[in-house]
Amino acid sequence: VKKTGHVEFRNVSFAYPGAEAPVLSDISFTAEPGQTVAIIGSTGAGKTSLLALLPRLYDAASGEVLLDGVPVTKLDRSEITQRVAMVPQRPYLFSGSIEHNLRFGRPEATDEQLWDALTVAQAADFVREKKNGLGSRIAQGGTNVSGGQRQRLCIARALVTEPKVFLFDDSFSALDVATDARLRRALKAKTADATVIIVGQRVSTIADADQILVLDNGRIVDRGTHEELLETSSTYQEIVES
């Protein structure tokens, strides 16, 4: 199997341990290398839960999640983490230098790779302006940087690992619209062959995706491009107008 980052969900259902009601029901879609797939839906729709199944934070109750054609349950954790990077909804920075935080998934990364990742993540200026640059100290939980800076550092951290698949869980929400657009343009140029799955609330963040999945109550109720969904999906229209 070529390890290109091909993602497929096949009739996936999922319930949290101990809960009865399923959080995800019969989810099927594919995301190909070079593509961006966006997931949109109201709070509690199951977006974060869906992403969590790929790096196996949880396993599907039924159906299959496949990475490059192989069920993730049959892969070693290291094979998954080498290919998949997730930027969580509440990105976490730990106590230590910026450099230390950026190298977390790839200790051997060069300084050049760190700066390259920071540049794409639109965080290079902010790090350069700090007196100690890459050596600047981050407080536990990243409490001494802004929410948007924290998001960008966590995006840079994911870029440093050069994954085949990026999972962004609402990773652009704390950025202003212009920074969001610049970041995603740079990301697209840098990761043209990667598979990108974006959970987003803002229409501008997801409108240029190759495919948008509209999630409602754990089900994909509609799918298509932004233009198609504007025509066909009342759920999507409601989200756009809200």
Q: With H, G, I as helix, E, B as strand and everything else as coil, classify residue 7.
A: strand
Nearer to ligand DCP, 43 or 242 (CB): 43
* Binding partner of residue 158 among ligand DCP, Mg ion, none, CB cut-off 5 to 8 Å per kind: none
**In this structure, is the dihedral angle defined by the CA atoms of residues 117, 119, 122 and 123, taken in order, positive or negative?**
positive
- In angstroms, what is the minimal distance from the CB of 173 to Mg ion? 10
Please provide the DSSP assignment of 147-172 as one string: HHHHHHHHHHHHHHT--SEEEEESTT
* Whole-angstrom distance, CA of residue 187 vs CA of residue 194: 10
**By CB under 6 A, residue 54 contacts ligand DCP:** no
Dist CA 165 CA 158 (whole Å): 10
What does the alpha-carbon distance between residue 29 and residue 50 come to, in Å, rounded to a whole number?
11
91 makes contact with ligand DCP (CB under 6 A): no
- The binder of ligand DCP chosen from 5, 46, 91, 200 (CB under 6 A): 46
Stretch that binds ligand DCP, among 39-47, 59-67, 183-191, 222-230 (CB under 6 A): 39-47
Position 47 contacts ligand DCP (CB under 6 A): yes
89 counts as binding ligand DCP under rule CB under 6 A: yes
Stretch that binds ligand DCP, among 43-51, 121-129, 137-145, 150-158 (CB under 6 A): 43-51
> Which residues are at the interface with Mg ion (CB under 5 A)?
47-48, 89
- At position 182, the amino acid (one-letter code) is R
4 binds ligand DCP (CB under 6 A): no
Residue 242 in contact with ligand DCP, rule: CB under 6 A: no
For 97: left if phi > 0, alpha if psi spans -120 to 50, otherwise beta; the answer is beta
| Shortest distance, position 55 Cβ to ligand DCP, whole Å | 14
Residue indicated by tokens 């700066």? 115
